[in-house]
């Protein structure tokens, strides 16, 4: 059965959460859902705007954000700004609640000012959006979810889970010209409006209740939102709300939509906060993201296809290496950013992280591992921010977590895993998403059945990516003479770093970029 790929309740390793309370027996997932992958921020934002504008008095909107920009326009037009759309909903009688990560200082390259402004703007108009800093030292709340519950029509309820924040640079589309409202902190290779590739999952059915439970557990945590006296005083001076008001009673899960065959499992990361400050819903942390990936990789036989922002570290490399060694026919195909988002010497620790993952994988199976970046048709690199993994057209994850130790142990993360339980075609959901992503990266016409059929077979797709990247790389190496080959893929090699670079970058990589949030007992055993 396809659900054999999913973690069971005892495998989640967190008896303190109520996320699985409504699931029968030892099951840790919801059945009878429909999940739609929304590729690109522009696609997600357009649907989100329509859904939020359709909310009415008595409805409930819940959201979390790692980064939020109050003025980000969901469809590019005046009046579609994030804060304005959410505030208008609250003014119509919708109950709008948000948890926005407080963020580290802008001096460190983070977005404390923007997140504060979003909270201030929403609170000034009646919505309860709070700044949440209940994280491990140096950590963040990285979950990106939004839930809409309708008082009078639960069949319209929807939850969104993925990698897309309500902020600048995310509203890009398949052309990848970038969001006109762009971040100002990206490396120069990405230009003034960095092209951005991302994915969000839209969930309808009983799993909406599960996503809502993730929000409610965080909202109802009695721990103060910040322990910093400075932030406490500033919030008082600014008149900011710092105490979550009680939420309305949680209603029953919404009904299954017609033809619903998707089982949805929510995987999460919460760190061990230490010093007696554990989350009441995750004492000692939760590492079901790491456990879920490890279990699925252990079942992989043919192709692991992933799109990820990072792909860092020895732990990540080891997980793939074990799968590659156990299964001689297994291939791994990865799409990641061509360049780190940081510039200069600051990017060396990130390259070291990539090297630590890629080198082991390539040594284990040099002909069965391929890693690519993507560019738009103007030759500008596209920043891959998607966090998606498809294994053997069976197990598919879309979420906020990256393939690194930070996401597996240190920050809060949320991912929605889908397995299709349709006995007629259990690979339909995963295969359709994989082929859609391949079509974009290879410049295939989705209406061209013959062209698209070349990607249906997983190994044929692996080789098609290699041929396309080799052709585009050769065109660039030849001075871009003649017609540009179709496709957007560029091959990535294991980063070459000198011994001195590796030496000085390692402490920064291990402590700042990819820290470990596990309890000491798990660190000693090197397990999750």
In order, the DSSP letters of 452-463 are: HHTTTSHHHHHH
- Say how many C-beta atoms besides its own lie within 10 A of residue 30's C-beta: 24
Residue 223: pLDDT band (50, 70, 90) is: very high
- Say how many C-beta atoms besides its own lie within 10 A of residue 482's C-beta: 8
Residue 452: pLDDT band (50, 70, 90) is: confident
Is 235 in contact with 243 (CB distance < 8 Å)? no
Which tens digit of pLDDT belongs to each residue from 478-510?
Answer: 999 999 999 999 999 999 999 999 999 999 999
* Spatial distance between the Cα atoms of 409 and 288, rounded to a whole number of angstroms: 9
Is 178 in contact with 7 (CB distance < 8 Å)? no
In the predicted model, what is the mean pLDDT of residues 274-290? 91
Residue 235: pLDDT band (50, 70, 90) is: confident
* Spatial distance between the Cα atoms of 143 and 134, rounded to a whole number of angstroms: 13
Q: Please report, for residues 291, 466, 501, 523, the alpha-carbon distance to residue 528 in angstroms, rounded to integers and kept in the order given.
A: 7, 34, 30, 8
Q: Is 526 exposed, middle or buried (0-12, 13-18, 19+ CB in 10 A)?
A: exposed
Helix (H) or strand (E) holding 236: helix 229-238
pLDDT for 453 equals 83
* Spatial distance between the Cα atoms of 165 and 198, rounded to a whole number of angstroms: 10
pLDDT for 302 equals 98
Say if pTM beats, i.e. exceeds, 0.75.
yes
Is 254 in contact with 31 (CB distance < 8 Å)? no
Domain boundaries of the chain, sorted by first residue: 1-13+27-519
Half-sphere exposure of 450 toward its Cβ, with a 13 Å CA cutoff? 0
Its sign, for the CA torsion 369, 292, 64, 57, is positive
* Spatial distance between the Cα atoms of 95 and 83, rounded to a whole number of angstroms: 14
In the predicted model, what is the mean pLDDT of residues 78-101? 98
Mean pLDDT of all residues belonging to the chain: 95
* Spatial distance between the Cα atoms of 194 and 83, rounded to a whole number of angstroms: 23
Residue 107: pLDDT band (50, 70, 90) is: low
Q: Please report, for residues 148, 153, 229, 328, the alpha-carbon distance to residue 357 in angstroms, rounded to integers and kept in the order given.
A: 38, 47, 40, 19
pLDDT for 449 equals 81
Is 446 in contact with 439 (CB distance < 8 Å)? yes
| Local structure of residue 37 (DSSP, 8 states) | E
Q: Is 485 exposed, middle or buried (0-12, 13-18, 19+ CB in 10 A)?
A: middle
- Number of H-type helices and E-type strands within the chain: 15, 18
- Say how many C-beta atoms besides its own lie within 10 A of residue 522's C-beta: 18
């Amino acid at each position: 059965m396809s659900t054999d790929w999913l973690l069971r309740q005892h495998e989640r390793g967190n008896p303190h959460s109520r996320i699985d309370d409504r699931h029968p027996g030892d099951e840790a997932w919801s059945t009878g859902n429909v999940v739609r992958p929304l590729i690109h921020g522009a696609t997600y934002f357009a649907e989100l705007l329509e859904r939020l504008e359709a909310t009415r008095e008595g409805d409930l909107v819940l959201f979390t954000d790692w980064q939020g920009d109050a003025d980000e326009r969901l469809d590019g037009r005046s009046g579609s700004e994030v804060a304005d759309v959410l505030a208008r909903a609250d003014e119509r009688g919708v109950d709008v609640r948000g948890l926005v990560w407080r963020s580290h200082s802008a001096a460190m390259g983070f977005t404390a000012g923007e997140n504060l402004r979003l909270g201030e703007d929403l609170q000034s108009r009646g919505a309860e959006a709070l700044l949440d800093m209940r994280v491990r030292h140096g950590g963040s709340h990285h979950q990106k979810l939004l839930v809409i519950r309708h008082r009078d029509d639960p069949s319209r309820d929807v939850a969104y889970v993925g990698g897309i924040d309500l902020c600048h640079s995310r509203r890009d589309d398949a052309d990848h010209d970038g969001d006109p409202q762009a971040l100002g902190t990206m490396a120069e290779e990405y230009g003034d409006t960095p092209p951005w590739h991302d994915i969000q999952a839209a969930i309808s059915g009983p799993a909406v209740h599960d996503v809502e439970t993730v929000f409610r557990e965080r909202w109802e945590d009695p721990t103060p939102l910040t322990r910093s006296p400075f932030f406490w005083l500033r919030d008082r001076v600014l008149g900011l709300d710092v105490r979550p008001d009680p939420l309305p009673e949680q209603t029953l899960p919404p009904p299954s939509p017609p033809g619903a065959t998707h089982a949805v499992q929510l995987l999460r990361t919460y760190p061990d906060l230490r010093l007696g400050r554990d989350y009441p819903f995750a004492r000692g942390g939760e590492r079901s993201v790491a456990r879920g990936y490890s279990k699925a990789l252990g079942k992989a036989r043919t192709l692991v296809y992933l799109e990820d922002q990072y792909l860092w570290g020895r732990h990540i490399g080891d997980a793939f290496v074990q799968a590659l060694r156990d299964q001689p026919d297994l291939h791994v195909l990865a799409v990641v950013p061509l360049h780190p988002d940081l510039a200069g010497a600051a990017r060396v620790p990130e390259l070291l992280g990539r090297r630590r993952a890629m080198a082991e994988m390539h040594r284990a199976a040099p002909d069965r591992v391929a890693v690519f970046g993507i560019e738009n048709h103007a030759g500008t690199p596209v920043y891959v921010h998607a966090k998606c993994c498809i294994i053997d057209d069976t197990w598919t994850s879309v979420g906020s977590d990256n393939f690194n130790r930070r996401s597996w142990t240190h920050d809060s993360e949320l991912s929605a895993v889908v397995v299709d339980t349709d006995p007629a075609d259990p690979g339909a959901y995963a295969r359709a998403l994989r082929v859609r992503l391949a079509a974009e990266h290879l410049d295939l016409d989705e209406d061209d059945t013959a062209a698209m059929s070349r990607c249906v077979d997983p190994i044929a797709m692996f080789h098609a990516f290699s041929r396309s990247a080799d052709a585009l790389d050769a065109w660039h190496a030849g001075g871009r003479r003649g017609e540009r080959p179709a496709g957007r893929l560029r091959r990535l090699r294991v980063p070459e770093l000198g011994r001195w670079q590796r030496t000085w970058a390692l402490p920064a990589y291990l402590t700042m970029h990819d820290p470990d949030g596990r309890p000491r007992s798990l660190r000693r055993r090197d397990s999750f």
